[in-house]
Amino acid sequence: MRVKIQVPRKFQPLSRAKRFKVFYGGRGGAKTITACDVALINGSKKTLRILGLREFMNSIDDSIHATLEDRIHAHSLYDFYQIQRNQIQGANGTLFRYAGLSRNLGSIKSKHNFDIALVEEAQTVRRKSLDVLIPTIRAAGSELWFLFNPENEDDPVYEDFVLPYKDILDEHGVYENDELVVVKTNLTDNPFAPRELLDHSAKMKEDNFKKWLHIYGGECGGNYEEGIFEADKFESYEVLPAWEYKAIFCDTALKDGEQNDYTVFQCWVKYKGRIYLVDQFRAKIKATYLKERLLEFWEKHKAQSSVAQPLRALYVEDKVSGTQLIQDIQREGGIPVIGVPRPRGNGKLLRANNFSPWISSGLVFLPKREPWVHGYRKEFRNFTSDDSHSYDDQVDPTLDAIAYMLVDGAPIKKADKNKPASRPMAPPKSAQSW
């Protein structure tokens, strides 16, 4: 049978043979409807076994069954497809069935004879489920389709299929290789979007841009309140300039353990009144291994330095485990280590307000292709004045780098609670901002 359907341009890659097809983005991007349309049309042309999946499916009502039924009627395919209570069957033997991954992970292993796994709400798929699903769908020419609105950068599907190609996706909206196609599709890519949704998106974009970025812009979630840092104002570089000198900044975790802060080492270089983040180590490590890891990081970057381009100093926050670390390194000698004071009270907020203008003025550069940069930007984006953010371990050494490499190290004094808060320090006037 011949049926013509209109498909948003962004979904044309669905017609190409790829092992993995990933469509993600904000609300109203027509992901589920278009995938169902294409699956139904493909299933009317050749016999296919299609498995509709979600991580959590308590009943048939949680599946794409109702959407498929609606699209069958929308395209007048009801003479070809027989809609049953728990499945849909085509006249040529095409079959649509459904399953939840979380409760039926063991039984999923028996679904190896399906041609397409169509995974909705893929942002909720657990690592264990993904590790079982991918090798299960193994028939010749079989495909896995993932559809989702992103939530967190460490969600397995996002981490595996989006994050490694995020720079390309941000620039072009699509990434493709021999076995994978990833497409970012939003409300603005949907020519059939209702006016009500377009109006709501436009109002949200004006009222709360950060919230809009998540709901309609297809970015991972975060704190929707206005932040201190303009994370999009970090500049990017692909080739490091002929830098003048470098320094390493260290922020140590307060305690060991999975639920505590990360330890972060950052290597920065300076060039013509700008600083460039070259490398970062970030992990939850035990205090007993802290010095060993830091010395490895120091030696790595010392080996890449010279008399003309020296590694000048190691800056370590002077509190808790950092204080002991400073004393140990000073005792052994050989490394110029400088303790960075941490004022009590609202000192962190004061530092953030003081040094954020250097970021907004385009004086702080990040590597364009490093995968950790997206999490780095997110941490700055989510930094709040009320300390409600989850982490700020990458913020601290960055502010230290600004202080000691751009502002020449004048330590920030504790604010007098009887005086009004100081105004932010201004950067040099020469700064540029199918």
Residue 427 has what pLDDT? 47
What percent of the chain has pLDDT above 70? 88
Q: Do residues 341 and 318 touch, judged by C-beta distance below 8 A?
A: yes
The domains found in the chain, sorted by start residue, are: 9-189 (3.40.50.300), 231-406 (3.30.420.240)
- Interatomic CA distance for residues 257 and 105, integer angstroms: 30
Q: Which residues of 91-115 are buried (b: 16+ CB within 10 A; e: fewer)?
A: eeebbbbbbbbeeebeebeebeebb
User: What are 380's two structure tokens?
Assistant: 């700055």
* Residue 400 CA to its chain's centroid (Å): 25
Identify the residue with better confidence: 128 or 422: 128
Mean pLDDT of the region 144-153: 94
How confident is residue 407, by pLDDT bands cut at 50, 70 and 90? Answer: confident
Task: Choose between 231 and 155: higher pLDDT.
Answer: 155
- The rounded distance, in Å, linking the Cα atoms of 34 and 13 is 12
**pLDDT at residue 411 is higher than 60:** no
pLDDT at 105: 82
More confident call, 60 vs 364 = 364
The rounded Cα 306 to chain-centroid distance in angstroms is 35
CA distance 163 to 11: 20
How confident is the model at residue 116, as a pLDDT?
97
Number of residues that this document lists for the chain: 434
| Residue 373 pLDDT level (bands cut at 50, 70, 90) | very high
Q: What is the mean pLDDT of residues 182-187?
A: 96
Helices 65-74 & 31-45, crossing angle to 10 degrees? 70
Bridge partner list, 282: 264
DSSP H helices, 138-289, are: 156-161, 166-172, 195-207, 209-215
**pLDDT exceeds cutoff 50 at 30:** yes
First to last CA, the chain: 19
Q: Confidence class of residue 191 from pLDDT cuts 50, 70 and 90? A: very high
In 3D space, the residue among 140, 173, 164 whose CA is nearest the CA of residue 23 turns out to be 173
- Helix, strand, coil % (nearest 5) of the chain? 35, 20, 45
Ranking 52-66, 217-231, 358-372 by mean pLDDT, the lowest is 217-231
| Residues 67-124: tens digit of each pLDDT | 999 999 999 999 999 999 999 999 999 999 999 998 878 888 888 999 999 999 999 9
The mean pLDDT of 167-172, rounded to a whole number, is 91
Mode of pairing for the β-strands spanning 364-367 and 274-283: parallel
Query: How far is the CA of 133 from the CAs of 48, 152, 154, 341, 394, in angstroms?
Result: 18, 21, 18, 50, 35
Predicted TM-score (pTM) of the model is 0.60
In the chain, the amino acid numbered 211 is K
Q: Could you say which DSSP state residue 303 is in?
A: T
